Amino acid sequence: MKQKKAAVFFLVAATVLLLAVGCTKENANQTDAAAKAAASNAASQDTAKPDTQTASQDEIISTFTGIDGDPIQVKSGVQFPLKDTVTLTFWYDPGWNFIGEMQSLGEGEVWKWMEEQTNVHIEFIHPASGTGEQSYQLLFASDKMPDILYATPKYEYTYGAQAAVDDGYYYDLTEYVAKYAPNYTKILETYPVINSNVKTDDGKILSFNQMYMPEHSKACNAGPSIRADLLEKIGMKVEDLVTYDDWHTALTKLKDAGLCEVPLHISKTGSMEYDEFLAGYNTAQDFIVVDGTVKYGPIEDGYGEYIDMLKQWYNEGLIDSDFGLNARDPEEVDVINNKYAAWWSYCSWNGTKKWNASMGVADGFNLIGTRLPVKEAGQIAHYRTPDLINNEYGFHITADCENVEVAVAWFDLWYDANVSLVANYGLGDTHIKNADGTYDWSEKLTKAEDASAARGRYVLPVCPFENYTRISNAWSDAQKESQKNWLASSDYAYFYPNYVVMTAEENTECSTIMADIKTFVEEETYKMVAGNSSYTFETFKDHIIKMGIEDAVKIKQDAYIRYINR
């Protein structure tokens, strides 16, 4: 065990300090991993469990207090509330904007309500702001892991979730879900797409997936946005921005009029969060899928065309001269001081929801989402923030959890329809009930001075089973217009699905190849745009091929085919 922990510690240190990935595992590690898994499973079986009825017996119904204060009947894997209190530790990085003045999410009203209903106490472990990725990796070098981990694409075991199961860190939840998770099981049986997305190629369940109610799922909620109030001053409107030429005209006029210093903010990648500004060239800075064939976007011809366009805009001062240092979002001070006129934004930040008088922005400030630019009017882009019926986010139960049955049954409760109402809309005056029986947030949430902190205190910011209309129904007209523009101008047909699962060996090989390629692409993209690269686009492509991209593409293709065949 100590040998394995030491090996993982040095791997984590390399990941954090050198941003290295894909190191080779030794046979000794595999032996220790098997021992850890076996020991964890044995401990799980031998540890005294709460006196509960189990799901292998008759159907279990627990009685809770519902959203309106009335008793509700909830299917459950064990009988709740438990006779004896069980404490589960939960590593969770929710974003400190949701914590507000609380010390922990556990002070939130819904979490306290759930403890009252179940007699399960959650002891949260929140990493310090900005340290989530490093903190997550360091967990694998610790003597004892928390019972539950919240994983995202940024926070996951180096070799993937399946490898974490194989190496003895996570439970394979397949049999536990079948026995102790009636609500989660019902959703998977009812919705084949969700069932396919959340399972591995061989049908395993490795985590509880964060998902959206299919009838209230999450459509594209972010994309390129522009100051509509500044456009008006140059005689243009948001709807005038269709093609790259339209954008060039608008950005040039904004700069010439002195309305901003640098009209367009792009990140260090040379694009935006989901490559929305690049998508009009039929590519992305990642793997794409075109008619079932996996390709690597930066070696597609469209990528070279995009670089040529950015060169012109760079020379004209329409983008930052040092955009290679930019984060995804512009600095608040730059927005307040009108440095930029356009940037990538979430829908919930548009209009005046985030940028208002209290932030110190100019009177009339109005940020609106635009169409994704294309080369010719009438075209649509095929890459953007995807519509989601479920996220790739997962809640893992670790092999150090001594009450795995209770943990599974407890987490399953969030997927019950009545429990999810409380999670989505809160208790008491945090919601209003409409005439048709649906719910919306009340002004206690929609007009809170600190909206994020209010969500953290009164509802679950990330609901395991979320009704996304709780957010979209609260949008302003400007925010609704933003989403309408993104949806009307694009789809995500080229998006490589988040739910594709590579084997541990594939993950290791692909990560090793891509670590250097991603760095090369990002650095040389900036250099080519700035005019100080030794590469032409053709030699840039040739170099990426020599670095092994074709092997990575084959791995991605094979994994994609398995996903399609699930």
CATH of the domain at 154: 3.40.190.10
Residues 394 and 460 in one domain: yes
Residue 77 falls inside a structural domain? no
Residues 36 and 144 in one domain: yes
Structure tokens at 376: 């010719």
As a whole number of angstroms, the distance between CA 548 and CA 13 comes to 26
Number of C-beta neighbours around residue 566 at 10 A: 16
As a whole number of angstroms, the distance between CA 280 and CA 310 comes to 13
Give the per-residue pLDDT at 152: 85
**What's the number of CA atoms in the CB half-sphere (13 Å) around residue 517?**
26
Backbone phi, psi, residue 553, to 5°: -60, -40
- Helix H or strand E segment including 183: helix 182-190
Which residue, 427, 452, 467, sits at the end of a domain?
467
- Helix H or strand E segment including 113: helix 109-118
Residues 131 and 165 in one domain: yes
Residue 343 falls inside a structural domain? yes
- Averaged over successive runs of 10 residues, the pLDDT of the chain (566 residues) comes to 42 44 36 40 40 56 96 97 98 84 93 98 93 91 94 83 92 98 96 93 95 90 97 98 98 98 96 96 98 98 98 98 95 94 95 81 93 97 93 92 98 97 97 96 92 93 94 94 97 94 91 96 98 98 98 98 94
Backbone phi, psi, residue 254, to 5°: -60, -40
Give the per-residue pLDDT at 48: 36
Residues 41 and 133 in one domain: yes
Residues 274 and 243 in one domain: yes
Domain that residue 245 falls in: 222-384+490-564
Residue 70 falls inside a structural domain? no
SS (H, E, C) 249-266: HHHHHHHHCCCCCCCECC
Residues 203 and 150 in one domain: yes
Q: How many residues does the chain have?
A: 566
As a whole number of angstroms, the distance between CA 6 and CA 141 comes to 7
Spell out the residues 6+ positions from residue 477 whose beta carbon is closer than 8 angstroms to its own: 351
Residue 474 falls inside a structural domain? no
Burial call 277-289: b when 16+ CB within 10 Å, e when fewer: bbbbbbbbbbbbb
Give the per-residue pLDDT at 29: 37
SS (H, E, C) 295-312: EEHHHCHHHHHHHHHHHH
Residue 478 falls inside a structural domain? no
Residues 441 and 529 in one domain: no
Residue 59 falls inside a structural domain? no
Number of compact structural domains in the chain: 2
The candidate with the shortest Cα–Cα distance to 273, out of 343, 205, 357, 360, is 343
Contact at 8 Å (CB) between 336 and 260? no
Residues 240 and 368 in one domain: yes
The candidate with the shortest Cα–Cα distance to 126, out of 137, 116, 113, 136, is 136
Give the per-residue pLDDT at 35: 41
Structure tokens at 432: 């209003």
Residues 349 and 309 in one domain: yes
Contact at 8 Å (CB) between 392 and 381? no
Residues 378 and 317 in one domain: yes
Helices 182-190, 404-412: crossing angle, 10 deg rounding: 50
Residue 74 falls inside a structural domain? no
Which residue, 434, 467, 500, sits at the end of a domain?
467
Give the per-residue pLDDT at 58: 64
Spell out the residues 6+ positions from residue 331 whose beta carbon is closer than 8 angstroms to its own: none
Residues 138 and 14 in one domain: yes
Residues 462 and 510 in one domain: no
**What is the CA 225 to chain-centroid distance, rounded?**
20
Which residue, 435, 467, 499, sits at the end of a domain?
467
Residue 91 falls inside a structural domain? yes
Spell out the residues 6+ positions from residue 232 whose beta carbon is closer than 8 angstroms to its own: none
As a whole number of angstroms, the distance between CA 30 and CA 505 comes to 13
